[in-house]
Amino acid sequence: MGYEFKCKDIGMDCGFDVKADSIEELIPVIQAHAKNAHGINEITPELFNKVKSAIKEY
Protein backbone atom coordinates (compact mmCIF):
# COMPACT_ATOMS: atom_id res chain seq x y z
CA MET A 1 0.00 0.00 0.00
CA GLY A 2 1.14 3.49 -0.79
CA TYR A 3 0.54 6.57 -2.85
CA GLU A 4 1.27 7.26 -6.47
CA PHE A 5 1.50 10.44 -8.48
CA LYS A 6 1.66 10.63 -12.27
CA CYS A 7 2.62 13.89 -13.88
CA LYS A 8 0.32 13.28 -16.82
CA ASP A 9 -2.65 13.23 -14.42
CA ILE A 10 -2.25 16.99 -13.98
CA GLY A 11 -2.21 17.47 -17.73
CA MET A 12 1.54 17.43 -18.31
CA ASP A 13 2.96 15.72 -21.36
CA CYS A 14 5.39 13.87 -19.14
CA GLY A 15 6.02 10.24 -18.26
CA PHE A 16 7.14 10.92 -14.69
CA ASP A 17 5.55 8.89 -11.96
CA VAL A 18 6.48 8.36 -8.35
CA LYS A 19 5.36 6.06 -5.58
CA ALA A 20 5.84 6.47 -1.85
CA ASP A 21 4.48 5.16 1.43
CA SER A 22 2.95 8.49 2.39
CA ILE A 23 1.86 11.78 0.87
CA GLU A 24 4.43 13.53 3.08
CA GLU A 25 7.19 11.61 1.28
CA LEU A 26 5.65 12.19 -2.12
CA ILE A 27 5.38 16.00 -2.01
CA PRO A 28 9.13 16.84 -1.90
CA VAL A 29 9.80 14.42 -4.77
CA ILE A 30 7.07 16.07 -6.83
CA GLN A 31 8.41 19.53 -5.94
CA ALA A 32 11.92 18.55 -7.04
CA HIS A 33 10.57 17.09 -10.27
CA ALA A 34 8.45 20.17 -11.00
CA LYS A 35 11.51 22.35 -10.58
CA ASN A 36 14.00 20.20 -12.48
CA ALA A 37 11.77 18.99 -15.31
CA HIS A 38 9.26 21.80 -15.71
CA GLY A 39 10.99 24.91 -14.33
CA ILE A 40 8.27 25.38 -11.70
CA ASN A 41 10.06 26.97 -8.76
CA GLU A 42 7.03 27.53 -6.59
CA ILE A 43 4.04 25.27 -6.13
CA THR A 44 1.05 27.60 -5.92
CA PRO A 45 -1.90 26.58 -3.71
CA GLU A 46 -3.89 25.98 -6.91
CA LEU A 47 -1.22 23.66 -8.32
CA PHE A 48 -0.80 21.97 -4.95
CA ASN A 49 -4.53 21.14 -4.89
CA LYS A 50 -4.28 19.79 -8.42
CA VAL A 51 -1.31 17.63 -7.43
CA LYS A 52 -3.07 16.40 -4.29
CA SER A 53 -6.19 15.39 -6.19
CA ALA A 54 -4.02 13.51 -8.71
CA ILE A 55 -2.37 11.44 -5.97
CA LYS A 56 -3.89 7.98 -5.87
CA GLU A 57 -3.73 5.17 -3.36
CA TYR A 58 -2.67 1.83 -4.65
| Interface residue list for Zn ion (CB under 5 A) | 7, 12, 14, 16, 37
How far lies 28's CA from each of 6, 19, in Å? 14, 12
38/49 with CB nearer Zn ion: 38
Burial of 53 (0-12, 13-18, 19+ CB in 10 A): exposed
Give the shortest CB-16-to-Zn ion separation in angstroms.
Answer: 4
Q: Cα(46)–Cα(16) distance, rounded to whole angstroms? A: 20
Give the shortest CB-8-to-Zn ion separation in angstroms.
Answer: 8
17/25 with CB nearer Zn ion: 17
Give the shortest CB-20-to-Zn ion separation in angstroms.
Answer: 16
